[in-house]
């Protein structure tokens, strides 16, 4: 179950006006520490947050098409542009908005948080560099935040981990524990169900994601919902919905770091 006091993250976000933010603005609202959550609860812990894709990728096609290491002797392209909602709301923007909210919650609990990107107007970083940021920081946990783009009939969240990582079996076991913690808080807090169109009850393992394969620290990728599905995107485009998703992510990380 989530760490004591962690579930108040959502109310802390709401109390600070996050519900009033528009989806077109980068998440910049601040949140107040939850009264029941000691500021030093995660002191000494480092978390890397990886908002997927970037706003400049589309105009730098050659740069993001270059091949980079994917782990285990394989390569893949540096990055992609990501998906978008039917109304044009881009995944890269959603990813950063939620990531900033997660960053605020974790910092209020005393964690050191490192972001792989902090703006929407850059290119990359490449997927191998995203993994390296977590590895170089010796992060206690790392998470890549995304939105999916599937047929509109599918909905729900996915927690994805590598089939195997270059961190070895012990690291894979820790990533599995992180995955389970996040799955539990998503079920309890996000307002979404496990994905109906892929994976196994919201869990998935993949061998083609460099950011996970190359990680030597516990790391998973969260697909927060399907941006082509009317129900999911209604949640993802609303500031209240993003606050719920961010709280679910933060609470899962807190549970993992404190209890697992």
- Please confirm whether the linkage preceding 125 is cis (ω < 30° from 0): yes
Please, what is the Cα angle at 10 between 131 and 229, to 5 degrees? 70
Model confidence at 13, in pLDDT bands (50, 70, 90)? low
Distances (CA, A) of 60 to 57, 79, 121, 238: 5, 10, 11, 29
Assign domain 43-259 to its CATH architecture. Answer: 3-Layer(aba) Sandwich (3.40)
Q: What are phi and psi of 35, to 5 degrees?
A: -60, -35
pLDDT tens per residue, range 122-131: 999 999 999 9
Q: Which helix (H) or strand (E) holds 148?
A: strand 141-148
pLDDT tens per residue, range 79-121: 999 999 999 999 999 999 999 999 999 999 999 999 999 999 9
Distances (CA, A) of 2 to 161, 193, 257, 258: 20, 18, 10, 9
Active site residue 189: no
- What per-residue confidence (pLDDT) applies to 102? 99
Q: What percentage of the chain carries pLDDT values higher than 70? A: 85
DSSP state of 135: H
Rounded CA-CA distance 236/61 in Å is: 27
Determine contact, residues 57/64, Cβ cutoff 8 Å.
yes
Rounded CA-CA distance 124/142 in Å is: 17
Q: What CA dihedral angle connects 196, 201, 202 and 205, to 10 degrees?
A: -110
Model confidence at 39, in pLDDT bands (50, 70, 90)? confident
**Bridge partners, residue 219, by sequence:** 142
- What per-residue confidence (pLDDT) applies to 28? 44
Catalytic residue (one of 91, 204, 223, 237) = 223
Q: Which helix (H) or strand (E) holds 231?
A: helix 230-237
> Domain segments of the chain: what residues?
43-259
Strand bridging mode 158-162 / 141-148: unpaired
- What per-residue confidence (pLDDT) applies to 40? 82
Which ranges constitute the DSSP H helices of 79-163? 91-108, 127-136
Rounded CA-CA distance 145/52 in Å is: 6
3-state class of 20 per DSSP? Answer: helix
């Amino acid at each position: 179950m989530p760490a004591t006091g962690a579930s108040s993250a959502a109310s802390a976000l709401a109390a600070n006006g996050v519900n009033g933010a528009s989806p077109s603005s980068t998440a910049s609202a601040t949140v107040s520490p939850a009264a029941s959550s000691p500021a030093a609860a995660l002191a000494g812990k480092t978390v890397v947050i990886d908002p997927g894709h970037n706003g400049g990728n589309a105009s730098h096609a050659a740069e993001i098409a270059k091949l980079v290491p994917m782990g285990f002797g394989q390569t893949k392209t540096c990055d992609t542009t990501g998906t978008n909602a039917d109304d044009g709301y881009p995944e890269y923007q959603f990813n950063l908005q939620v990531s900033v909210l997660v960053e605020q919650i974790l910092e209020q609990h005393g964690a050191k948080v490192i972001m792989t990107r902090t703006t929407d107007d850059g290119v990359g970083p490449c997927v191998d560099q995203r993994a390296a940021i977590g590895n170089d920081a010796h992060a206690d946990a790392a998470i890549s935040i995304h939105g999916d783009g599937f047929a509109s009939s599918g909905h729900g969240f996915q927690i994805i981990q590598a089939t195997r990582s270059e961190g070895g079996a012990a690291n894979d076991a820790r990533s599995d524990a992180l995955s389970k913690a996040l799955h539990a808080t998503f079920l309890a807090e996000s307002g979404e169900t496990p994905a109906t169109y892929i994976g196994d009850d919201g869990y998935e393992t993949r061998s083609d994601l460099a950011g996970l394969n190359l990680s030597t620290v516990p790391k998973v990728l969260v697909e927060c919902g399907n941006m082509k599905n009317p129900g999911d995107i209604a949640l993802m485009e609303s500031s209240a919905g993003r606050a719920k998703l961010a709280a679910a992510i933060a609470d899962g990380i807190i549970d993992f770091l404190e209890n697992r």
